[in-house]
Every structure is written in C-alpha cells, then in structure tokens.
Structure 1
Amino acid sequence: MIENDRVNWCDWTSNGGALEYDLSYLHPELGILLQEYQVSSTTYEGKKIYQSDFYLFEVDSSVPRDFRHLPTQIKNELWEMVFAVKRRFFEEIKPEIVEHFIDQEYSIEKRYKTYCDKLNLPDYEIDIDKIRRTITYQKKTTLTGNGGGFIFTRRCTPVAPAASSAPAACETRITLFSRPYSLIKY
C-alpha cells in the first residue's frame, strides 16, 4: 500500500527515527504524514521500548493539524496510510515493545478496536491501558529448554464485524511451570 515514490525520507533504525510520507494525492489540504518512533526506555532484559507518534500536516505547513473535517472516505484512506506506515516500521525494525499513546478525546476502546483490525500483527500481543490511554504491542515469546515459573499471556481478537462498535475480546492466561525456563523470541 505504501508507494515508495511518496516516501520523502525515512531515517529509522533500531534507535528510533521517522518516516515522512506525501499525502497530497488524497486531498488538496493534505501535505504530509510524519510517523516518529523514539526509544523511551528499556526493560530490565535490555529490550527497547519505543513510543510512537504521528502527525498530519497541511500543504506547505510546519504545524500539525487535525483533519476531522474531511469527508469520511478521505479519512478512511488516511487511516489506511497511517497504519501502513506503522506496519512498515514493525516489518523493517522488528521492535520488541511499542507504545501508542492515544491523546485525542476519541474513545480508547474504539481506537483499540481500530488497532486490532488495522495493525493485526501475528508475532505481537496487543494490550490496552485505559488509565494511561496507551495501546502496547509486545513481541510474543515462547518457552524452551528447562522451563519453569509463571508466564502471563494475553490474546485479543476482534469478535464482531468491522462495522460493529463492539470491542475486541481478550483472553488472559496465567500458566505455572515447575522448572526454571528461558524465553526465546520466535
């Protein structure tokens, strides 16, 4: 879905960075989409935690703008591009943990459903924190070797048709292992 000719520049690496994408073909008011990823901290295991932010700019503007007034069809295409750019980051960088802060007054539950639908990544668990207004993707792990201890997993899947406002269903499992274990990415 991303047309490489419309990528103005991209400098992201495992240390973060950004991609700028030309949106002028969608609507005369639209200029660019800027998607940024910054490493905010690391886990005790040394995994980088990225924060994700995107901004929309009008043509020849340096100030981000809200485009809620645009027709629904244009907004839908705009969201498709936002999530296509996000997906590209996951495919190219393969981050361990990414936090998406939802700062709009938009319902966090509806936005969570949108993320489940539009950014469905089989190698990642997706979680929602309503208090912090955060949607987090964390790379799945699997147990191997002389395993043991506790493991907490959460799986979310949409349970209603895309047009429905029903939230995604989540299943939480806690499993006890009797031997020490090591976690390995897959």
Structure 2
Amino acid sequence: MAIETWDSPYIVIWLCLGVLVTVLTYGVRGYSGKINGLEAIGYSMVIGALAILNGAALGQTMYDKTAKYDVWGSLGTMLGLSGPLIVSGLTLIVFYRCRVVKHPDELVVRGNDLEMGGSYLLSGITWFMFSGLLSGGIGGGYLVDELLGDRKGVIYALSMLLPIIVAIWLIAKYSKWMFKYIVWVLRRKGLLQIVDDEDSK
C-alpha cells in the first residue's frame, strides 16, 4: 500500500495504539528491571518506526489538495511524528519516577552532584525526548515556511529557524527539569539519599 493512500484516521489510531502498547511494555519491563540493552533498542526502533508511519499517515489525512500551500499536511506530519515520541519519553519518565521511588538508592545526591544508577529507562527517555523535540522543531520550521509561502527576507528566514532554536533549547533543559522533579518527589516522600563526603571520612 502506497503512503499516499494512507488517508484514513483509523490508520492513525492503530499506529498510536501500537506506540502506546510498545512504550507501556517498555516501561513496565524497565520498572521491574527485566529489560536488557537489546530489548531497549528493539522497543525504541519499533516506536520510532511507528512514529514515522504515523507522521506520514496523519499528514496524508490532514492534507488539503485545494490549498496552495500544504499547511495542514505539514502540521499533521509534524504532530504525527514528534507527538508519539515526546509522549513516549514523558511516559517513561513516569515509570522511571516509580522505579526510583521503589529503589531510592539508584539516585544519590553527593555534594553538588547527582549520581544515577544505570537504567535503560533513562536511555529511552533521552532518545525519545531528543528525537521528538528535534523533529518537532524541524517540522515547525517547515510549517512556518509553508505559512510564509513565497516571501523572502532575513526576518522570514530567521522566523523559520525559531522553532528549531526553541527545540534545541528544550533539549538542553528537559533533563535538568526531569531530575529536579524526581529529586522533589523523593524529598517529599522522605526517600532522597544524600551522601556527605566530609561526614563519611
């Protein structure tokens, strides 16, 4: 079946359900510590492939053949691709929070440093948030280009780069925000592990 014929919302729904089932399976196995590196890569590849197909399907579903510029199609492709990836990353953050609450020794504050135990949930979060935000930024830039049409100039060129710059800024910040949230949860529950090197000597 050609991608051009994927103009049914039911295909989008099934692809989104596929992403949801896969990321929940990834999260549950990561929470229980039963996942290995090969499985994590496999789950990530499946979610990435489904997100790409979802972007193509939603873009075709929203495509307006009567419009001069394919704004709706570009918006659908951006949301269909980046949305499942970002949601997958946020879902794994919830599972990681639950795992750290169950095993608080996996995250220790030592002085001004935050020490984390190895977790394939973290690698999944990093990959999904990075790829989701970056694809969203690139798609946003292309969407602005569609909205501007044939207009030329430095201001218009910079406006196309703005979504990408915002995406890169969010990529640089999300990890800091996530760990602040995890530390806040552990502190609120009285589970935060703090090690003072001076006291341990």
TM-score computed with the length of structure 1 as normaliser: 0.33
Q: Which has the higher helix share?
A: 2
More strand by share: 1
